[in-house]
Each structure stands twice: as C-alpha cells, then as structure tokens.
Amino acid sequence: VFERLDDACTTVERIMAAGVLPASLELMDTTTINVVEDNLHLGLPRKAGALLLLLADGEPEQVAWESQRLAELARQGGAQHVQVAQSAADERGFWQARRSISPSLARVQPNKISEDICVPLPRIAETVRRIKAIGENYNLTIPVFGHAGDGNLHPNVLFDARDPHQTERAWRAAEAIFAVALDVGGTLSGEHGIGTLKRPFLAAALGRDVVRLHQQIKARFDPTGRLNPGKVLE
C-alpha cells in the first residue's frame, strides 16, 4: 500500500531491476481501489495513492524467499503497509480485488472504453497523472490499473452511451490517452493488438514507412484483398 502513486511506480522499477521477477506485478490506482471497495467492501485502503499486488511462483522455498525479498523492496520504496500471504486463502483474498475490477467498474457506468497502452517503466507515474488530467478535462472517471511489471496499463474510460455528449467526450478522452502513450515513448497496445479502434493512430505509432511495408506484405500474400478486407490495412 502506497500513499503516493510515484512511490509505487518507482518501486516497480526497483523490483524489476533487482533480479527478482514476480510472476505478476499489478498496479491499482486510487480510483480503481475505491471503485472495487465500493462494490465489495474488502477493507481496501481508500486513501492510498496506489496498491501493488505481487505474486511469486516456484518451489515453496523459492516462493518464501522471493516473497520476503519483494516485501523488502516494497518497504524500501516507501510502502506504508506490506502484507505477505501466509496461506492459499490469504492469496485468494489478495487477488480478489484485482479480479473484481471489471465487474466493479460496470456498477459505476454502463459503458467503458477499455484501453491497453504500454509505456516505459520510468514513465508510468507520469502517464497515470496525465490520464487523470484527461479525465478531469472531459469530466469523466478514468480508473487506471494493469500489469505494471511490463508497463502495460489499462485506463478505462467510463461513460453512459445513452448520453451522446458524454459518449463524444469519452472517445475524445480515449484519443487523448493514445496521444499520451505515444508521447512518453510507449505503444498503443501491450497485449490486445491495434484492431479497428486504433487504426487511425497506426501511422503515428509505427511511422508511415512501416505502415506502407505492412501494406506491401499484405498485397503480396493477398493481391485481391480477400483476407479481412478493410480491417486495419487498406
């Protein structure tokens, strides 16, 4: 549990540089923490700036050593509270919050734009702060969580599609998030792919020369344009 988001993000860098690689390293920002707590009443720290969830795997002796080492690194990074699971039940309880994020978000607004950006580890905190500013600018709630160990963040723009003005703001906010990801040296997708939603940003992300190369490769193998026409490459 961290009072400051910056401390949590710095701790992510510290852990990844220490040679102790957790099986999972998940970040929940303060908005995500409170949305889950509103739904499940798990006793999550509402005033925390961020929460890190870490999972060690391997043989029992290795797991015990890595867990203590990860806890030590978290304390060195400024964690206010560190708790190590002592049983499988403890572990399930810890991860319930992470598994419950998406259904909890659905209770806030009926619709969401789920993003999948990936940014350099030293830029995670800046990215989250800028996403929060985007939410304020467009008067929208944007929780941020994700696989912090590899810089993969999932900002979720919450909105009500029945309101056309809110829907327009939501898509503009999503575009602003794309721009932030690229500005900090990141990518538009960490694991889900570009797809049709992010197609207008493909040239900005990859460069026009790379897009042309992809088009040439597709044309070579699909000269008549029968394979997935018009999806990503025209």
**Residue 199: pLDDT band by 50, 70, 90 thresholds?**
confident
Residue 198 lies in a domain: no
Of 119, 124, 118, the closest CA to residue 49 belongs to 124
The CATH number of the domain where 43 resides is what? 3.40.462.10
Of 166, 162, 153, 204, the closest CA to residue 183 belongs to 204
Residue 212 lies in a domain: no
Compute the distance between CA of residue 227 and CA of residue 42 in angstroms, rounded to an integer: 48
Residue 225 lies in a domain: no
Summarize the confidence of residues 4-20 as an average pLDDT. 92
Q: In the Cβ-directed half-sphere of 230, how many Cα atoms lie within 13 Å? A: 0
pLDDT in tens, 142-192: 999 999 999 999 999 999 999 999 999 999 999 999 999 999 999 987 777
Q: Is the dihedral of CA 10, 108, 139, 48 positive or negative?
A: negative
In the predicted model, is pLDDT for residue 97 greater than 80?
Answer: yes
Longest CA–CA separation in the chain, Å: 61
Residue 169 lies in a domain: yes
In the predicted model, is pLDDT for residue 69 greater than 80?
Answer: yes
Residue 26 lies in a domain: yes
Q: Is residue 147 a contact partner of residue 24, using CB atoms and an 8 Å limit?
A: yes
Token pair 């929940």 is found at 28
Residue 218 lies in a domain: no
Residue 155 lies in a domain: yes
Summarize the confidence of residues 115-127 as an average pLDDT. 93
User: Domain span at residue 49?
Assistant: 1-193
The predicted pLDDT at position 42 comes to 92
Residue 55 lies in a domain: yes
The predicted pLDDT at position 159 comes to 98
pLDDT in tens, 19-55: 889 999 999 999 999 999 999 999 999 999 999 999 9
**Residue 1: pLDDT band by 50, 70, 90 thresholds?**
very high
The predicted pLDDT at position 184 comes to 96
pLDDT in tens, 100-118: 999 999 999 999 999 899 9
Rounded to the nearest integer, the mean pLDDT of the chain is: 92
Domain count for the chain: 1
pTM of the predicted model as reported, rounded to 2 decimal places: 0.88
Region for residue 184 given its phi and psi (left: phi exceeds 0; alpha: psi -120 to 50; beta: otherwise): alpha
In the predicted model, is pLDDT for residue 71 greater than 80?
Answer: yes
